Amino acid sequence: MPAESRARPVPGAAAPERQVVAAAMAAAATAWLDSLTPRQTAVAQFGSPLLPGAEAERLKWFYTPTDHGGLAIRDQTPQQQSLAMQVVASGLSAAGFATVATVMGLENILDQVEGWRVHWGRERGRDPGLYWLRIFGRPGDSAWAWRFGGHHISLNNLVVAGRVVSTTPCFVGADPAETVLLGGALRPLHGLEQVARQLVSSLGPGQRQRALLHERAVSDIVSGNRPTVSDGDTMMHMQDLWRGRFADPALEELVDDIDRRAEEGSEYTPGDHAAVSISVPPKGLSARDMDACQRARLRQLLALYTGRAPQGLADAYEVHYAAESVLDEVHFGWAGATDAGRPHYYRVQGPQVLIEYDNTQRNANHAHSVWRDPTADFGLDVLAEHRSRTAH
């Protein structure tokens, strides 16, 4: 089957739309790479995703404050930082970029919330300069990719044959999820939580029973930072979400303690984790069993995640989920309390989408959200097809 028709990561997106986004990414990435010194380039640029060793690195992604791999923002000149952020913006809508930039700035607020004490084995534990950009291959090659990430951010993009073929996994978190402003509040992920709560609150007793994954919220997203998602996957624990182990026993103990307190807070047993595991077919309430208003709310929720993508691709996702038969295959599940300020988790899952959101830690003021495509994360199928064709 041709790569164009396999596991299409942007449902309904025409080739010109994907080409336009890919060209913008290539231009931005080239400008950034051209600005770097040889020493910086050695860190910033990795091998082609067509090479097994480079591909193994590309599939490593994180949302914890660990080394994400690449050249950190803090290790660049101001001009280079601007060019790096232009690469990031090329892979996001205007709203998506504003959200990502806000989350990066939250590191300053989190540092204050934690009393300026957390260090994670580095000079500053909560550092808005510790977000890393890495290019795989060369922009404009037949296959190349880029990754941007740091605490609570992971963006992963693949371009094959001049077209964007993958923009997932796409992770955005916020800690604190809500903080005070003069005359208001800062809530970067508020829409993701509000729309989902409106949807679950609109369900009738029978619908809610089918949507309920568990009476209590699981303490983190279930898919974790796995490169691929499979039937039966259960929540990954904190110890497995870092790039290797800590040399400092005190940090190992801290991670163990965070995980222990999270599990005690959720009161989850292995059986509870199994109950909210990723499954095929999906758990939860099917959209086909929702009324028109509920289906519209589900589409709105989907758009808040797919709307992170550049506008042309985001528009294509909206068209895709406007089809009644496509939406019928999407399921919505909820775990935990439905009132604001209490721990909760939800999942939206269909053949080409997996969305997870949790807000449980720090007294339900620390949110995680991820948008994935189980059939096309990292563009693995398209890349394998391209590798096969170019090898002959």
Q: Is the pLDDT of residue 109 over 50?
A: yes
Residues in the chain: 392
How many of the other CB atoms lie within 10 Å of CB of 86?
17
What pLDDT shows up at residue 388? 84
CA gap 311, 286 in Å, rounded: 28
What pLDDT shows up at residue 7? 41
The pLDDT tens digits for 218-261 are 999 999 999 999 999 999 999 999 999 999 999 999 999 999 99
User: How do 131-136 and 45-46 pair as beta strands?
Assistant: parallel
What pLDDT shows up at residue 3? 36
Q: What mean pLDDT comes out for the span 58-81? A: 98
Measured between alpha carbons, how far is residue 343 from residues 152, 263, 266, 367 in Å? 18, 13, 9, 10
Helix (H) or strand (E) holding 214: strand 212-214
Give the residue among 213, 112, 92 at the shortest CA–CA distance from 153: 92
**DSSP 8-state secondary structure symbol assigned to residue 378:** G
CA gap 50, 32 in Å, rounded: 22
The pLDDT tens digits for 365-377 are 999 999 999 999 9
What pLDDT shows up at residue 392? 59
Tell me the domain boundaries of the chain.
3-168+379-390, 187-375
**Torsions phi, psi for 385 (to 5 deg):** -65, -45
Percentage of the chain with pLDDT > 70? 96
Q: What mean pLDDT comes out for the span 333-338? A: 97
Measured between alpha carbons, how far is residue 27 from residues 33, 97, 113 in Å? 10, 18, 39
Q: Is the pLDDT of residue 288 over 90?
A: yes
Q: What mean pLDDT comes out for the span 350-355? A: 97
Q: Is the pLDDT of residue 1 over 60?
A: no
Q: Is the pLDDT of residue 15 over 80?
A: no
The pLDDT tens digits for 170-206 are 999 999 999 999 999 999 999 999 999 999 999 999 9
Percentage of the chain with pLDDT > 90? 94
The pLDDT tens digits for 308-326 are 999 999 999 999 999 999 9
Measured between alpha carbons, how far is residue 346 from residues 120, 177, 243 in Å? 29, 16, 27
Q: What mean pLDDT comes out for the span 45-73? A: 97
Give the residue among 316, 23, 346 at the shortest CA–CA distance from 211: 346
User: How do 212-214 and 331-336 pair as beta strands?
Assistant: parallel
